[in-house]
Structure 1
Amino acid sequence: MKIATALAGLVLTAASTAAFAEGLPDLAGREVTVVTENAYPPLQFINASGAAVGWEYDAMAEIAKRLNMVVKYENTSWDAMIPAVSSGQYDIGMTGITIRDDRKEQVDFSDAYMRSEMVMLVRGDETRFTDAKSFGANADLLMAAQPGTTPFYVGVYEVLDGNEANPRIKMFETFGAGVEALRTGDVDLVLTDGTAGNGYVAATEGKLKIVGEKLGAEDFGFIFPKGSDLVAPVNAAIADLAADGTLEKLNTKWFLEYKMGQ
């Protein structure tokens, strides 16, 4: 995703702007448990040195500093994340989570911190299809997906035939496992937002590429248990990060400058 796209997606509500104007809340060193998947570069992933890094880690560190809170990180799979946060097992979830009305029934969302457009990630030498229509028309081609994710539903309803049990969709527990299956030839397509897609393209130096037109746009937010008192402070901090240019700097660092695997 290009920096202009990321910046264009920043959503700052009037409430958040007012919170910033009045000064940020002080959480007085409160310990907050944040859960993530570490499988979604460049938002969060494990680098070649074994460290957990990424756009969301940097953003959360800034949020914690500005709100005077202490962050403890935990890891879980994508399919377990929303139920775990919903039940109060964790205070915040972060893993490029699309803000959707059905998910709002289970968790509260922060204001959007980024908008990303969905893309088709394929092997670098792929020539059998060039867009969603030609992929859908070839019954031999397979797609990787995580159940219950936005890419899964886009794949079902915009690329394939609307059958959620279509055998051409191969399920994987993590996004990274689906990408690895793509690289090894076990599947032929991974749908993902532009942030992760461009991150993998940059990291693989031509072994992966993006084809076709963008299939839509999605806004990302952090998630919280319903009724969490952390939503308003985090929204205020997101507005603060946007207002002073910090989000722009993170976009430049992770989408324009950083080469994963180094």
Structure 2
Amino acid sequence: MKTLVLATAALALSTGFAMADAHGKTIRMGTEGAYPPYNFLNDAGEVDGFEREVGDELCARAELTCEWVTNEWDSIIPNLTSGNYDTIIAGMSITDEREEVIDFTQNYFPPAASAYAAKSADADVMGGVVAAQTSTIQAGHVAESGATLLEFATYDETVAAVNNGEADAVFADKDALVPTVEESGGEMVFVGDDVPLGGGIGLGLRESDTELKAKFDAAIQSMKDDGSLNKLIIKWFGEDANTF
């Protein structure tokens, strides 16, 4: 799951945005909309994917009115703390670093692996050029691995860098890479072993929104208890996906 380096710049609130709470006001669900199958924009331009289905079900169980908004990954935490939306539901790993700034619900997706993909199984992922999305846990791992890190703003750009020869390999969530590799027609393959990173995915919230956190925690737990969360994980990530 992606983990971003915390940004410190303050962002201005747009005039019409109000800080929502758990007392009947609309809750704005912030996501990236560019990281399938977790979240993406469908042909109608609407947020879709695993997290859309999970988020809608959580809102229904918590008896909340929720709206979906998209935000670029590298400013997704500052826009939460500024009040532009009320949750982050965007494939975000729960980390100690991030918990210094925002709060998290319990995880709604278990810890999963990251992986390398390249045009050749012999690609040098330890000493070559490896592409990763900027401000992610994967980018941090590459920077410490001895490889040359090539960062891009979006996941799609990291894959394009491999295809056009800028990078020897891409390092990302394996769940995101699986469909990319499968749809490449043999042009891309996995390289080496999976790399376990992160501690599962949770909803990010402002530290002050304790009541909202409690509502979502209860809703997530109910989905775990009745098996509906595992069903959605399998639907979007396949029978071999990690489940609860």
TM-score > 0.5 by shorter chain: yes
Cα drift, residue 153 of structure 1? 0.9
- Provide closer, same or farther for how the CA distance between residues 214 and 151 of structure 1 changes in structure 2, counting only shifts above 3 A: same
- Highest RCO, 1 vs 2 (Cα 8 Å, sep ≥ 6): 1
Report the aligned-residue RMSD: 2.2
Aligned equivalents of 2:202, 2:125: Cα separation in 1:
30
Cα drift, residue 187 of structure 1? 1.7
- Tell me the residue number matched to 1:226: 207
Aligned equivalents of 1:186, 1:64: Cα separation in 2:
42
- Provide closer, same or farther for how the CA distance between residues 206 and 240 of structure 1 changes in structure 2, counting only shifts above 3 A: farther
Count of paired positions: 216
- Tell me the residue number matched to 2:28: 33
Q: Which amino acid aligns with 1:69?
A: L
C-alpha contact (below 8 Å) 1:41/1:200 kept by paired residues: no
- Tell me the residue number matched to 2:143: 156
Secondary structure of the residue that 1:98 maps to in structure 2? coil
- Tell me the residue number matched to 1:135: 125
- Tell me the residue number matched to 1:6: none
Q: Which amino acid aligns with 2:206?
A: P
Secondary structure of the residue that 1:34 maps to in structure 2? strand
Q: Which residue, out of 169, 172, 185, partners 2:152?
A: 172
- Tell me the residue number matched to 1:95: 90
The answer to whether the aligner puts 1:71 opposite 2:58 as a matched pair is no
- Tell me the residue number matched to 1:42: 37
Aligned equivalents of 2:161, 2:45: Cα separation in 1:
21
TM-score (normalised: structure 1): 0.75
The percentage of aligned residue pairs carrying the same residue is 29
Structure whose residues are more often helix by fraction: 1
Structure 2 matches for 1:97-136, cutoff 5 A? Answer: 97-114=92-109, 115-123=111-119, 126-129=120-123, 134-136=124-126
Cα drift, residue 105 of structure 1? 1.1
Aligned equivalents of 2:183, 2:214: Cα separation in 1:
36
Q: Which amino acid aligns with 2:40?
A: F
Aligned equivalents of 1:35, 1:78: Cα separation in 2:
10
Cα drift, residue 209 of structure 1? 2.5
Secondary structure of the residue that 2:216 maps to in structure 1? helix
Secondary structure of the residue that 1:135 maps to in structure 2? coil
Query: Which consecutive residues of structure 1, in runs of 5 or more, have no partner in the other structure?
Result: 2-26, 162-167, 258-262
- Provide closer, same or farther for how the CA distance between residues 181 and 200 of structure 1 changes in structure 2, counting only shifts above 3 A: same
Query: Which consecutive residues of structure 2, in runs of 5 or more, have no partner in the other structure?
Result: 2-21, 240-244
Secondary structure of the residue that 2:195 maps to in structure 1? coil
